[in-house]
């Protein structure tokens, strides 16, 4: 197994629609294993193939207490119920988090690595992760679901280990590149944990981001 290179925004592959998987072979299983290792290395909860430069409709999710990742091939969210505001991050946008709308419950149809059709009902963080990762396969990022333009934050872990949220607009390429260079060790904040210390109302004088 190998850790694959993570594609980072604004890499155009993140905006492309992945193609349907038709070959359920050893090569696909190998890609899934490499993606699982890559996700573990980045302490992620989910990973889509686009993010490692492969335009195939496959993604992985793994909740904290799971031993193995769940591999979803050709996943399709076939039902969404309810709406909730949650905090979200993405391995392809290191150092950023945003507030987005996600469903409370979903049903997803997918194939496993053998090509067998499967169905799953999910709620809470699992539903959020599956929505996020299936979005990736359609070229959609959580930036597209922000509840408001100013609900994107740059995160910074201060000297006391506290997570600080710095309001920003949509990150531009130069800023993200600089952030990626700074962050050989990006702040360790769970990808989908809504319980972090984001200020309920960001300080007004910090909100300087331009349109
Ligand atoms: Co992501």
Over range 116-142, report the average pLDDT. 97
Asked if residues 32 and 113 have their Cβ atoms less than 8 Å apart, the reply is yes
Q: How far apart are CA 150 and CA 162, in angstroms?
A: 22
Asked whether the predicted pLDDT for residue 100 surpasses 50, the reply is yes
Sheet holding 96-102, edge to edge: 84-89, 96-102, 152-157, 163-168
* Cα-to-centroid distance, 211 and ligand 1 (Å): 23
Is 133 noted as a catalytic residue in this protein?
Answer: yes
Measured between its terminal Cα atoms, the distance across the chain in Å is 43
Torsions phi, psi of 58, nearest 5?
A: -145, 140
- Per-residue pLDDT of 3-23, as tens digits, reads 999 999 989 999 999 999 999
pLDDT at 5: 95
* Cα-to-centroid distance, 136 and ligand 1 (Å): 7
* Cα-to-centroid distance, 124 and ligand 1 (Å): 17
Q: Which of 37, 67, 133, 159 is catalytic?
A: 133
Stronger pLDDT, 140 or 1, i.e. the higher one: 140
Which residues contact residue 78 at a Cβ distance below 8 angstroms, ignoring those fewer than 6 apart?
Answer: 107, 108, 109
Is domain 12-84+103-140 annotated with CATH 3.40.190.10?
A: no
* Cα-to-centroid distance, 8 and ligand 1 (Å): 10
Prediction pTM value? 0.82
Which whole-number Å values give the CA distances from 61 to 97, 125, 173, in the listed order? 18, 10, 27
């Amino acid at each position: 197994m190998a850790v694959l290179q993570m594609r980072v925004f604004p890499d155009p592959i993140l905006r492309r629609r992945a193609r349907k998987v038709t070959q359920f072979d050893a090569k696909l299983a190998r890609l899934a294993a490499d993606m699982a290792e890559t996700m573990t290395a980045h302490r992620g909860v989910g990973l889509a193939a686009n993010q490692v430069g492969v335009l195939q409709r496959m993604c992985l999710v793994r909740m904290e207490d799971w031993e193995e990742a769940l591999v979803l091939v050709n996943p399709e969210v076939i039902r969404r119920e309810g709406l909730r505001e949650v905090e979200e991050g993405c391995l392809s946008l290191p150092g950023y988090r945003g507030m987005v709308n996600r469903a409370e419950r979903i049903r997803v149809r997918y194939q496993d690595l053998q090509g067998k059709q499967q169905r799953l009902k999910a709620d809470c963080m699992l539903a959020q992760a599956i929505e996020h990762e299936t979005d990736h396969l359609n070229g959609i990022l959580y930036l597209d679901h922000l509840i408001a333009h100013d609900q994107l934050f740059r995160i910074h872990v201060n000297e006391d280990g506290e997570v600080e949220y710095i309001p920003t607009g949509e990150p531009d390429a130069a800023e993200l590149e600089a952030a990626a260079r700074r962050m050989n060790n990006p702040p360790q904040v769970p990808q989908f944990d809504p319980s972090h210390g984001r200020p309920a109302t960001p300080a007004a004088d910090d909100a300087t981001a331009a349109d």
